[in-house]
């Protein structure tokens, strides 16, 4: 496929996990990538893309910094003549232990700065450039933790709920621009962010329990998110706007239930 042939594309959080897998998928379909991350591993992503014959440059930046985001968009425009797609994927958990009463305002502010202000800045600076090209797409990484409780620390969950509302609000404010703005809501995906969970499960010999609460009964892989993101970025999703797509094996399709129900209680 070559759905993104010649398209100028930014991916933040491209140094690993979902961002790296998605950047590689965009490049494999002809996109010209600006891969951004706070970590120097972003250059490894670029090396993998170019080794496969793709086009990419790497930028180390802070996704929650206004000046960095503005400079990132300007770099894409100067490098490739404009901007067509932006995947605002960078995010942090703020720590796996994050109850309301054992966290502080400073840690909350940092999570919100990266996870919510970051996508806001991406839209603020990216959308006008995409509009100049006649339209395109912005995709933000939210989470099933933003849909309902039980999938992440409190600050992380609140930030991702904000992302879900942000894409809806932004889609409305971009009315008539032909810039589509959507979110993906991953469930548990094997990435650097979830590495402690996977490492612990493997150490205890219970890796098979990861993802056991979703109907597919497994965790997801970054490449599965990449497929969803590239779909939303492509013309195949030309009439999808202001939506949050859960990519979670079906986890968020139900409220908590007892798996085994007495026959007389079933309806």
Query: Is the CB of residue 20 less than 8 Å from the CB of residue 4?
Result: no
Domain assignment of residue 235, yes or no: yes
Element (H, E) at 141: strand 136-141
pLDDT given for residue 261 in this prediction: 54
The CATH number covering residue 122 comes to: 3.40.50.720
pLDDT given for residue 85 in this prediction: 98
The stretches in the chain having pLDDT less than 50 are: 266-267
Residue 42, domain extent:
8-189+221-246
* Model confidence, pTM: 0.91
Q: Which of 65, 46, 44 is nearest to 54 (CA)?
A: 46
Q: Which of 80, 125, 156, 200 is catalytic?
A: 156
What is the bridge-based pairing of β-strands 244-247 and 8-12?
A: unpaired
Domain assignment of residue 209, yes or no: no
Domain assignment of residue 3, yes or no: no
Domain assignment of residue 255, yes or no: no
239 is catalytic: no
pLDDT given for residue 49 in this prediction: 98
Domain assignment of residue 266, yes or no: no
Sign of CA dihedral 114, 120, 124, 129: positive
Dmax over CA atoms of the chain, in Å, equals: 67
Q: Which of 254, 187, 191, 250 is nearest to 215 (CA)?
A: 250
Q: How many domains does the chain have?
A: 1
DSSP E strands in 54-102: the ranges are 55-60, 85-88
């Amino acid at each position: 496929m070559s759905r993104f042939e010649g398209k100028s594309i930014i991916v933040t959080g491209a140094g690993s996990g979902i961002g790296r897998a998605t950047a590689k998928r965009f490049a494999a379909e002809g996109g010209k990538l600006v891969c951004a991350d706070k970590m120097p591993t972003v250059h490894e992503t670029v090396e993998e893309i170019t080794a496969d014959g793709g086009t990419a440059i790497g930028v180390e930046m802070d996704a929650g910094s206004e000046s960095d985001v503005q400079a990132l968009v300007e770099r894409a425009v100067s490098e490739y003549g404009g901007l067509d797609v932006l995947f605002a994927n960078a995010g942090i958990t703020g720590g796996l232990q994050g109850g309301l009463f054992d966290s502080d305002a400073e840690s909350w502010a940092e999570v919100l700065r990266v996870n919510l202000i970051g996508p806001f800045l991406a839209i603020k600076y990216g959308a006008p450039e995409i509009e100049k090209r006649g339209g395109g797409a912005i995709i933000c990484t939210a989470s099933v933790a933003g849909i309902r409780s039980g999938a992440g620390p409190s600050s992380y969950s609140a930030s991702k709920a904000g992302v879900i509302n942000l894409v809806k609000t932004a889609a409305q404010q971009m009315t008539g621009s032909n810039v589509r703005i959507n979110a993906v809501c991953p469930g548990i995906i094997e990435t650097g962010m979830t590495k402690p969970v996977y490492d612990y499960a493997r150490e205890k010999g219970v890796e098979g329990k990861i993802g056991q609460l979703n109907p597919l009964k497994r965790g997801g892989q970054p490449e599965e998110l990449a497929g969803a993101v590239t779909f939303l970025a492509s013309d195949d999703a030309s009439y999808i706007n202001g939506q949050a797509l859960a990519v979670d094996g079906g986890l968020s399709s139900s409220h908590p239930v007892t798996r085994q129900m007495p026959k007389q209680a079933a309806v």
